[in-house]
């Protein structure tokens, strides 16, 4: 952190018995730290390159967590565990903007939970699906038009493709020739980018309030019972499609390996994980899904994986300016796993459809 730790911490109304934040977690976007001993807190520097309007991000989060908190209380739950609790600054703001423009926020640390960067059994997917499903259920009556669109066109796959094509044309980092094969793989699937958008446009897939970043390390589970505790990383809660949340969760959770695995022989799409997630998701949301949503569940996993793959590839072509990288070619490695999964899902699409049919439709 560029600022001294004390400069940052003393702005927050937290009960701190320690002043040494330690880097924490594996998110690609914000910088996350844990601080405190008896009571622990998450301290995050908001990535303002990605979130251009941190004020709007925090307004969304305050409103969404307040809504969730009421729902959780009404159901007899503990809102300090079942949703994020923002810690305000001493001036009563939901984040602190430093004189140099850096933005920091704090949350209560949700103790006795675990989140997985890689899945090791189907049950984890089942409980994650239920937790994401419950999350969407609780936001069912949230006034969507009051939410700011913090990253415009976040899952607009046609626009993501346009940005990808622009990255190819601009060739900012001079890496285009090296990735000709990957570019061809992406270009060959352009027609897929319209499918969900067309369904939203013709009304067969409704817009809902969705999480939009349902990667498995954004859901906290109870390590003893295995059950879901809380959905975190609420930066991208915006109007979207249920298919985005379903597809993105399985993009990450259905992967047999790590998102950045370099040995591609280890990467394939796990139908057993897919089935476990479908089971949990249908249990929570089955009665709400439209016919077209159900039909598109398997395709949405391929679409979200493809979208993420072209985002990683575009970032590689642009010189790694969006996703945090930890080694050379990190974004290219991530792109490779996503494209390997896309190809595998194309082979397994009929089996994926049969699994969905087994549970609904
Ligand atoms: P990013 O947007 O960079 O992914 P996240 O908000 O997902 O940032 O935080 C990164 C990681 O920090 C999470 O995957 C999780 O492990 C941990 N984390 C975030 N918030 C909390 C919290 N309130 N309690 C416990 N752990 C948290
Ligand atoms: C980012 O913030 P994090 O690490 O949970 C990204 C997602 C990508 C994901 C790929 C705001 O998620 O859209 O799917 O990386 N978040 C943002 O791992 O762009
Ligand atoms: Mg995250």
Q: What CATH class does 122-359 carry? A: alpha beta
**Alpha-carbon distance 263 to 318, whole Å?**
24
Residue 264, C-beta contacts closer than 8 angstroms, at least 6 positions apart: 336, 337, 340
Averaged pLDDT, 320-333: 98
Cβ of 84 below 6 Å from ligand 1: yes
Model pLDDT for residues 220-250, shown as the tens digit of each residue: 999 999 999 999 999 999 999 999 999 999 9
Q: How many helices (H) does the chain have, and how many strands (E)?
A: 11, 10
Asked if 310 and 317 count as a contact pair (C-beta separation under 8 A), the reply is no
Q: Name residue, tokens 């490695």.
A: 333
Q: Which two tokens stand for residue 166?
A: 């622009």
Query: Do 5-108 and 122-359 fold alike per CATH?
Result: no
SS3 call for 319? coil
Q: How confident is the model over 158-207, as pLDDT tens digits?
A: 999 999 999 999 999 999 999 999 999 999 999 999 999 999 999 999 99
- The ligand 2 atom at the shortest distance from the C-alpha of residue 212 is 13
Assigned CATH class of 5-108: alpha beta
Ligand nearest to the CA of 219: 1
CA distance 189 to 45: 36
Of 122, 21, 71, the closest CA to residue 231 belongs to 71
Distance 178 CA to ligand 3 centre (A): 30
Euclidean distance between CA atoms 10 and 16, whole angstroms = 9
pLDDT score for 2: 61
In the predicted structure, residue 1 carries a pLDDT above the cut 60: no
Is there an atom of ligand 2 within 6 Å of 337 CB?
Answer: no
Nearest to 29 by CA among 233, 182, 212: 233
Question: Rounded distance, CA 336 to CA 330, Å?
Answer: 10
Our answer on whether the CB atom of 29 is closer than 6 Å to any ligand 1 atom is yes
Partners of 239 in beta bridges: 209
pTM over 0.95: yes
Q: What is the pLDDT of residue 4?
A: 82
- Pair of tokens at residue 285: 């949301």
Decide: 214 in ligand 1 pocket, CB within 6 A.
no
Average pLDDT, the chain: 97
The residues that bridge with 35 in the sheet, in sequence order, are 41
Across 110-134, average pLDDT: 96
Q: Is the CB of 212 under 6 A from ligand 2?
A: no
Assess whether pLDDT exceeds 90 at residue 5.
Answer: no
Q: Is the CB of 29 under 6 A from ligand 2?
A: yes
The closest-lying atom of ligand 2 relative to the alpha carbon of residue 215 is 5
Ligand 3 centroid – CA 231 distance (Å): 10
CB 352 within 8 A of CB 341: no
Q: Which ligand is nearest to the CA of 24?
A: 1
Residue 332: predicted pLDDT: 98
The verdict on the CB of residue 323 being under 6 Å from ligand 1 is no
Cα gap 317→235, rounded to integer Å = 26
Give the whole-angstrom CA distance, residue 309 versus residue 342: 9
* Domain boundaries along the sequence of the chain: 5-108, 122-359
Residue nearest to atom 5 of ligand 2 (CA): 27
């Amino acid at each position: 952190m560029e600022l001294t730790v004390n400069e940052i911490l003393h702005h927050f109304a937290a009960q701190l018995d320690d002043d040494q934040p330690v880097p924490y977690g594996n998110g690609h976007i914000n910088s996350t730290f844990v601080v405190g001993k008896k009571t622990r807190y998450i301290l995050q520097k908001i990535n303002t390159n990605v979130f251009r309007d941190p004020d709007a991000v925090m307004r969304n989060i305050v409103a969404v967590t307040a809504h969730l908190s009421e729902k959780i209380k009404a159901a007899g739950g503990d809102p300090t565990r079942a949703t994020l609790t923002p810690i305000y600054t001493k001036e009563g703001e939901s984040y602190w903007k430093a004189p140099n423009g850096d933005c920091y926020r704090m949350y209560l640390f949700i103790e006795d939970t675990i989140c997985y960067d890689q899945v090791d059994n189907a049950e984890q997917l089942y409980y994650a699906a239920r937790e994401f499903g419950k999350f969407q259920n609780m936001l069912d009556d949230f006034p969507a038009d009051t939410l700011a669109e913090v990253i415009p066109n976040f899952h607009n796959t046609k626009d993501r493709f346009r940005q990808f094509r622009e990255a190819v044309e601009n060739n900012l980092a001079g890496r285009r020739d090296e990735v000709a094969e990957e570019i061809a793989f992406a270009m060959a699937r352009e027609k897929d980018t319209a499918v969900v958008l067309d369904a939203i446009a013709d009304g067969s897939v409704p817009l809902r309030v969705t999480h939009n970043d349902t990667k498995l390390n954004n859901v906290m589970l109870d390590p003893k019972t295995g059950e879901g505790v809380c959905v975190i990383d609420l930066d991208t809660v915006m109007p979207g499609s249920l298919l985005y949340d379903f597809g993105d969760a399985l993009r990450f959770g259905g992967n047999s390996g790590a998102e950045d695995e370099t040995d591609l022989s280890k990467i394939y799409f796990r139908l057993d994980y897919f089935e476990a997630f479908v089971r949990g998701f249908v249990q929570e949301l089955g009665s709400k899904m439209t016919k077209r949503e159900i039909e598109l569940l398997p395709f949405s996993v391929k679409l979200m994986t493809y979208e993420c793959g072209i985002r990683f590839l575009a970032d590689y072509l642009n010189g790694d300016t969006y996703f945090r990288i930890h080694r050379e070619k990190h974004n290219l490695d991530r792109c490779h796993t996503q494209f390997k999964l896309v190809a595998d899902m194309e082979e397994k699409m009929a089996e994926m459809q049969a699994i969905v049919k087994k549970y609904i439709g």
